[in-house]
């Protein structure tokens, strides 16, 4: 198997995730797109780990998964709070910071 | 290795289709379910990369816990579960060129960097003990930091989502 | 994919080659068919003429045919075995992943128990699906209902035929998920979705035990099973043989048995986790019928029966004292039966009756009456499904979707002769009246419990039989006798499910008999409720004990042989005919379960069977009849004649009022779980987090802020005023002009910022990539 087939799959997922972050309005869907990005990173980490025959990539992939769990927890907490205050979770409605 | 090659392409196709549906579907719950497809595919790819412990963690944490969080989040913030028109914002079309440029940059870099280099054929599966030796050895400090992050996230999530 | 060979072992000199057959070898297709049908219903169901229901029904019929074929060939296989020979299960495994020389397998394990349960499940599922065609006609989520129902059956069949505990767990969890979807089918009603959540979470609480139990067994047994049998520690056969090998540490196997039993308590609605089961009646009636007669709740009983050696050794079944299984089961029998007396909802009566009957099955298993318990699973499936479907038929056609016996029923026997007849047959079977099927199973359990030396539990069982007869008589009287009330008398007004879009039936003129799609399944089930007991009719002699011959595994020492090929130590290499039972033909001489088997392994413990005595049967018949008569007199006087001495008795007597209140409040268990347990866990966490937030974090922030203020004052006085200000003022003017020019991009919209950020980063990266060669 080529190294690149995994790396390119990761790149495709990353690009799709970027599209999702940009194009989605629903905050939960934005979080899901971020999950796509994180997973593509993990795919790369593990592909490199196999290529180099070391374990470090696995370790960091696990860290990424743990951080992702924390991120989703806090992210959804924020979304919930926003929803409670505004009855909407559209990120476009959060434009109070307009300069 | 032919079987693994076929497996890779089948799973990769499913993942790409799933990922596209995640970012295009009009139904939040469907998006979550398509995300499950992508995450399961990722777990399968990790197995192909001889990382069974990470694959297992992926299934447990992502598909088990994070997806449930997503579904709860969806249900707590939405009265209705079904098709909606209003999920994409007006910058949708801006997203396409951005994503394409991102992909192009990465693809060019990857192709230049690795070309048709092959993965080692005789790779042994990584024993979980090696991973744990790494975590509790050289990478202990990040591990500590991570535990603080998780603690902060737990506390933060409760504080944020508390009713009163 | 490498199909392992079918195992046909021979024991000692009396070696007989066991018969196999296509249906036995391909039993794995049984769960695959509904699983595929589930996918098909999801994908194309809505476009089909019958909205996908035909796929569900067809797949269940196919599973039923395949199960029947497997049962037929299993009977042939048992027949081809010699006296006292252990009938090897038909096992096929395929390894789907191999890592570091360890195969992960998936496979089928077909023996008498799995064939029996699979047949019952497929049969009841088929009837329930046919019944649902009529019952849910016009429902908004008709297609989804059939999809979930089909997947549910697939999950149960997977679990029943699983070769290893991983697949078992998979089926178990699929069922849990589908039960959640089915109970909450009408989730627009808040009570229904609460019931679904309650069922799901209560069962999940128990499921933790299943995970712990499987893991414990795997780590404890894996080494031994690999060395001796070439099986993994997940294999059901491996675990059974290991448990009886005298090898396991007493503590470990007890822990594993307790953990697994916790899962059974959750799934099979045993005390104290039985509270979800009556609430689960919120689902459509066919769901109640399927879940609470033969599938979901029986899963826990099946787990105990399947891994019986673990429980046998871990809990010291047949030992001198009572064991946890029996104690829990005895409590369950009595409290659930008592609760059934205060219910006004007919389905809740049946739900508590189910809980109580599951208690009987567990009592049998706990007291070493394996076969009667399994046989009770078999007969209970028929009469309980019939009762539930009968209740559904009443609400569907006579009481305007109400299940309230006191308000909307009464006198229905004249309007619904078929439903009434089938109900009475099933009620008599449930009460255990000779010669209905319940007699042959329930009485056997009670009899064997006494025979194995647990007289106290035998009396509990007899007391439970009295209560069963009494509450079923009460429910029957309220439903079918007396004066019609409410909807049954033709009063319209409240339509419990009228809001669910199935108003197609809301226009009936009055109570009437249901259509053939409902009455035919009822009639079939009633015939089986009447006759299925004859398959193991102990009173008529050994020749009638067919289920015993077909299902109960023979407790014989089998030479250990490798099931996986390769170099595995053959325990029996030096002792080819060390199976004494095979030669003596005397079952009670088998050492299995009581001592370490020499020269081989055991897959089942040796159990005793009580000899049937008409005197004992007469005693239990007298108790049941007393229950019926007493309850009939009281109920008809209380509800029919409104006898002033009985009406309002709970209001007058303080002791009775307290008892009644305790029952109505379900022993306050729900209150305990919701108020005490949940609050005790959730409350402190939230409070601690809040306190931490207020004091810990805020304190740090205040301290930092105070320090920063001090520093700022010093800086302000010296540095800021003189040097920086001049620079800043100049820079500010520039920034102001630049900002005005860039204002359109500063919309405050996060996603636009995201797009710009990613776009800029991507362009920069592209430039870098292209320039760096």
Sign of the torsion angle spanned by Cα atoms C595, C598, C602, C607: negative
Cα distances (angstroms) measured from residue B24 to each of A20, B157, C8, C436, C459: 8, 28, 55, 60, 65
Instruction: Determine, for residues C755 and B91 on separate chains, whether the beta-carbon distance falls below 8 Å.
Output: yes
| Rounded Cα–Cα distance for residues C126 and C156 (Å) | 13
DSSP per residue over C585-602, as a string? --GGG--TTTSPPSSSB-
Of B98, B101, B125, the CB nearest to C100: B125
Cβ-based contacts of A98 with chain C (< 8 Å): 746-748
CA A53 to mean position of chain CA atoms: 26
DSSP per residue over C110-178, as a string? E-HHHHHHHHHHHHHHHHHHHHHHHHTTT-TTHHHHHHHHHHHHHHHHHHHHBSBHHHHHHHHHHHHHH
Cβ-based contacts of A29 with chain B (< 8 Å): 22-23, 28, 31, 87
| DSSP state for residue C195 in the 8-state scheme | H
User: Does position A59 have pLDDT exceeding 80, yes or no?
Assistant: yes
Q: What is the mean pLDDT of residues C262-276?
A: 83
- Token pair 């398959």 in the structure block, residue: C535
Cβ-based contacts of B97 with chain C (< 8 Å): 759
> Does an H or E element contain C710, and which?
helix C698-715
CA C720 to mean position of chain CA atoms: 74
Task: Give me the pLDDT at residue C619, please.
Answer: 86
Nearest-CA distance from C480 to chain A in Å? 51
* Residue from C304, C274, C337, C420 nearest C624 by CA: C337
pLDDT digits (tens, 9 = 90+) for C123-170: 988 988 888 887 877 777 888 888 888 999 999 999 999 988 888 988
| Rounded Cα–Cα distance for residues A60 and B133 (Å) | 13
Higher pLDDT among residues C747 and C65, named by residue: C65
Task: Give me the pLDDT at residue B45, please.
Answer: 92
Give the confidence band of C741 by pLDDT, cuts at 50, 70, 90. Answer: low
Task: Give me the pLDDT at residue C13, please.
Answer: 40
Of B4, B49, B133, the CB nearest to A46: B49
**Strand ranges (DSSP E) for A12-60?**
none
Task: Give me the pLDDT at residue C485, please.
Answer: 74
Instruction: Determine, for residues A7 and B114 on separate chains, whether the beta-carbon distance falls below 8 Å.
Output: yes
Task: Give me the pLDDT at residue A35, please.
Answer: 92
Q: Which of C231-240, C557-566, C649-658 ranks highest by mean pLDDT?
A: C231-240
Q: What is the value of pTM for the model shown? A: 0.65
Closest Cα in chain B to C766: B105
Assign C718 to helix, strand or coil: helix
Beta bridge partners of C593: none
Q: Which of B65-79, C318-332, C582-596, C665-679 ranks highest by mean pLDDT?
A: C318-332
Instruction: Determine, for residues B157 and A15 on separate chains, whether the beta-carbon distance falls below 8 Å.
Output: no
Q: Which of B14, B45, B150 to mutate to test the interface with A (most CBs of A within 10 A)?
A: B45
Both structure tokens of B44: 């399968």
pLDDT digits (tens, 9 = 90+) for B108-140: 888 888 888 888 877 677 788 888 888 888 888
Give the confidence band of C500 by pLDDT, cuts at 50, 70, 90. Answer: very low
**What percent of chain C shows pLDDT beyond 70?**
76
**What percent of chain C shows pLDDT beyond 90?**
2
Instruction: Determine, for residues A50 and B57 on separate chains, whether the beta-carbon distance falls below 8 Å.
Output: no
The shares of helix, strand and coil residues in chain B, as percent rounded to the nearest 5, are 75, 0, 25
Q: Which of B3, B109, B154, B164 to mutate to test the interface with C (most CBs of C within 10 A)?
A: B109
Q: Check CB contact of B98 with chain C, cutoff 8 Å.
A: yes
Least confident of B150-159, C111-120, C377-386, C641-650: C641-650
Task: Give me the pLDDT at residue C555, please.
Answer: 76
Cα-trace Rg, chain A: 17
Task: Give me the pLDDT at residue A13, please.
Answer: 95
Instruction: Determine, for residues B108 and C755 on separate chains, whether the beta-carbon distance falls below 8 Å.
Output: no
Task: Give me the pLDDT at residue C492, please.
Answer: 52
Cβ-based contacts of A96 with chain C (< 8 Å): 748
Closest Cα in chain B to C188: B80
Task: Give me the pLDDT at residue C499, please.
Answer: 41
Least confident of A85-99, B89-103, C244-258, C507-521: A85-99
Give the confidence band of A14 by pLDDT, cuts at 50, 70, 90. Answer: very high
Cβ-based contacts of B43 with chain A (< 8 Å): none
Task: Give me the pLDDT at residue B16, please.
Answer: 94
User: Does position A43 have pLDDT exceeding 90, yes or no?
Assistant: yes
Task: Give me the pLDDT at residue B124, please.
Answer: 74
Task: Give me the pLDDT at residue C575, please.
Answer: 36
| Rounded Cα–Cα distance for residues C339 and C93 (Å) | 46
Task: Give me the pLDDT at residue C493, please.
Answer: 47
CB-based burial label for C607 (10 Å; 0-12, 13-18, 19+): buried
Q: Check CB contact of B150 with chain C, cutoff 8 Å.
A: no
Both structure tokens of C501: 């879009």
Closest Cα in chain A to C742: A99
pLDDT digits (tens, 9 = 90+) for A76-89: 888 888 888 777 77
Nearest-CA distance from A83 to chain C in Å? 16
pLDDT digits (tens, 9 = 90+) for B2-56: 778 888 999 999 999 999 999 988 888 888 889 999 999 999 999 888 888 899 9
- Token pair 């596209």 in the structure block, residue: B20
Of B89, B101, B158, the CB nearest to C766: B101
| Rounded Cα–Cα distance for residues C227 and C570 (Å) | 9
| Rounded Cα–Cα distance for residues C596 and C582 (Å) | 17
User: Does position C99 have pLDDT exceeding 60, yes or no?
Assistant: no
pLDDT digits (tens, 9 = 90+) for C509-559: 567 777 788 888 888 888 888 888 888 877 777 777 788 878 888 777 777
pLDDT digits (tens, 9 = 90+) for B92-111: 777 888 889 889 988 988 88
| DSSP state for residue B26 in the 8-state scheme | S
Both structure tokens of C52: 């996908």
User: Does position C744 have pLDDT exceeding 70, yes or no?
Assistant: no
Instruction: Determine, for residues C751 and A95 on separate chains, whether the beta-carbon distance falls below 8 Å.
Output: no
| Contact call for residues C334 and C464 (beta carbons, < 8 A) | yes
């Amino acid at each position: 198997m080529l190294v690149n087939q995994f790396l390119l799959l990761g790149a495709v997922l990353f690009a799709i995730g970027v599209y999702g972050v940009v194009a989605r309005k629903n905050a939960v869907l934005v979080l899901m797109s971020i999950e796509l990005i994180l997973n593509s990173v993990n795919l790369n980490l593990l592909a490199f780990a196999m290529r180099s025959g070391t374990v470090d990539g696995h370790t960091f992939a696990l860290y990424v998964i743990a951080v992702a769990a924390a991120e989703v927890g806090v992210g959804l907490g924020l979304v919930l709070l926003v929803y409670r205050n505004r009855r909407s979770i559209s990120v476009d409605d959060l434009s109070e910071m307009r300069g | 290795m032919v079987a693994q090659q076929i497996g890779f392409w089948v799973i990769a196709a499913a993942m790409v289709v799933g990922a596209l549906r995640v970012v295009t579907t009009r139904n939040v719950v469907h998006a979550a379910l398509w995300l499950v497809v992508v995450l399961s595919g990722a777990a399968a790819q990790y197995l192909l990369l001889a990382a069974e412990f990470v694959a297992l963690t992926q299934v447990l944490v992502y598909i088990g816990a994070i997806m449930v969080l997503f579904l709860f989040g969806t249900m707590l913030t939405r009265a209705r579960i079904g098709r909606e028109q209003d999920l994409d914002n007006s910058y949708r079309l801006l997203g396409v060129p951005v994503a394409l440029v991102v992909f192009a940059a990465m693809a060019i870099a990857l192709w230049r960097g690795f070309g048709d280099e092959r993965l080692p054929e005789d790779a042994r599966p990584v024993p979980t003990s090696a991973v744990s030796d790494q975590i509790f050895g050289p990478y202990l400090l990040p591990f500590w930091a991570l535990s603080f992050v998780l603690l902060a996230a737990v506390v933060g999530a409760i504080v944020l989502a508390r009713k009163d | 994919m490498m199909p392992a060979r079918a195992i046909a072992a021979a024991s000692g000199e009396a070696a007989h080659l066991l018969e196999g057959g296509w249906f036995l070898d391909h039993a794995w297709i049984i769960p695959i068919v509904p699983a595929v049908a589930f996918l098909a219903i999801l994908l194309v169901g809505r476009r089909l003429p019958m909205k996908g229901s035909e796929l569900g029904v067809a797949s269940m019929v196919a599973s039923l045919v395949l199960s029947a074929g497997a049962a037929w060939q299993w009977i042939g296989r048992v027949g081809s075995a010699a006296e006292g020979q252990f009938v090897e299960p038909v096992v096929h495994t395929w390894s789907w992943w191999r890592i570091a020389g360890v195969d992960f397998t998936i496979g089928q394990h077909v023996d008498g128990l799995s064939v029996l349960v699979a047949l019952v499940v497929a049969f009841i599922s088929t009837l329930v699906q046919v019944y649902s065609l009529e019952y849910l006609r016009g429902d908004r989520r008709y297609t989804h209902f059939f999809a979930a129902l089909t997947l549910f059956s697939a999950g149960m069949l997977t679990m029943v035929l699983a070769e290893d505990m991983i697949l078992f767990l998979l089926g178990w969890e699929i069922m849990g998920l589908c039960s959640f979807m089915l109970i909450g089918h009408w989730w627009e009603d808040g009570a229904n979705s609460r019931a679904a959540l309650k069922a799901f979470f209560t069962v999940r609480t128990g499921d933790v035990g299943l995970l712990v139990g499987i893991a414990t067994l795997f780590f404890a047994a894996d080494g031994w099973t690999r060395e001796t049998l070439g099986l993994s520690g997940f294999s059901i056969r491996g675990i059974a043989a290991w448990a009886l090998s005298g090898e396991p540490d007493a503590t470990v196997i007890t822990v594993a048995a307790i953990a697994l039993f916790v899962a059974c308590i959750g799934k099979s609605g045993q005390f104290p986790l039985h509270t979800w089961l009556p609430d689960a009646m919120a689902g459509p009636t066919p769901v109640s019928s399927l879940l609470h007669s033969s599938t979901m709740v029986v899963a826990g009983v099946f787990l105990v029966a399947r891994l019986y050696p673990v429980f046998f050794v871990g809990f010291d079944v047949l030992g001198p004292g009572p064991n946890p299984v029996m104690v829990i089961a005895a409590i369950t029998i009595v409290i659930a039966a008592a609760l059934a007396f205060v219910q006004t909802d007919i389905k809740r009566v049946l739900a508590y009756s189910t809980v109580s009957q599951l208690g009987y099955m567990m009592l049998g298993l706990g007291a070493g009456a394996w076969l009667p318990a399994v046989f009770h699973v078999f007969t209970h499936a028929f009469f309980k499904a019939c009762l539930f479907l009968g209740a559904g038929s009443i609400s569907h056609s006579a009481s305007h979707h109400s299940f309230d016996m006191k308000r909307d029923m009464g006198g229905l026997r004249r309007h619904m002769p078929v439903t009434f007849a089938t109900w009475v047959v099933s009620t008599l079977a449930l009460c255990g009246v000779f010669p209905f099927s319940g007699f042959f199973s329930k009485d056997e359990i009670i009899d064997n419990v006494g025979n194995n030396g647990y007289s106290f539990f035998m009396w509990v069982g007899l007391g439970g039989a009295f209560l069963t007869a009494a509450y079923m008589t009460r429910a029957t009287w309220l439903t079918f006798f007396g004066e019609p009330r409410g909807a049954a008398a033709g009063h319209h007004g409240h339509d419990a499910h009228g809001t669910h879009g199935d108003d197609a039936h809301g226009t009936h003129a009055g109570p009437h008999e249901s259509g053939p799609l409902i009455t035919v399944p009822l009639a079939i089930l009633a015939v089986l409720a009447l006759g299925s007991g004859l398959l193991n009719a102990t009173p008529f002699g050994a020749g009638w004990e067919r289920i015993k011959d077909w299902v109960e595994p023979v407790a014989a020492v089998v030479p250990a042989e490798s099931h996986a090929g390769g170099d595995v130590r053959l325990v029996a290499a030096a002792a080819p005919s060390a199976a004494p039972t095979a030669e003596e033909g005397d079952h009670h001489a088998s050492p299995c379960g009581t001592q370490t088997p020499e020269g081989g392994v055991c897959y089942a413990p040796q159990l005793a069977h009580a000899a049937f005595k008409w005197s004992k049967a007469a005693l239990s018949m007298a108790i049941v009849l007393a229950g019926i008569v007493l309850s009939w007199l009281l109920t008809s006087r209380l509800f029919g004649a409104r006898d002033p001495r009985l009406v309002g008795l709970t209001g007058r007597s303080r002791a009775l009022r307290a008892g009644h209140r305790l029952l109505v409040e379900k022993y306050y268990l729900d209150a305990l779980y919701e108020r005490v347990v949940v609050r005790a866990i959730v409350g402190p966490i939230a409070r601690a987090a809040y306190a931490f937030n207020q004091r810990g974090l805020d304190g740090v922030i205040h301290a930092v802020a105070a320090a920063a203020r001090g520093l700022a004052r010093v800086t302000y006085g010296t540095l800021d005023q003189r040097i920086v200000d001049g620079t800043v003022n100049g820079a500010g003017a520039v920034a102001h002009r630049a900002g005005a020019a860039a204002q359109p991009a500063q919309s405050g919209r996060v996603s636009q910022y995201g797009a710009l950020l990613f776009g800029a980063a991507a362009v920069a990266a592209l430039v870098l990539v292209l320039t760096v060669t």
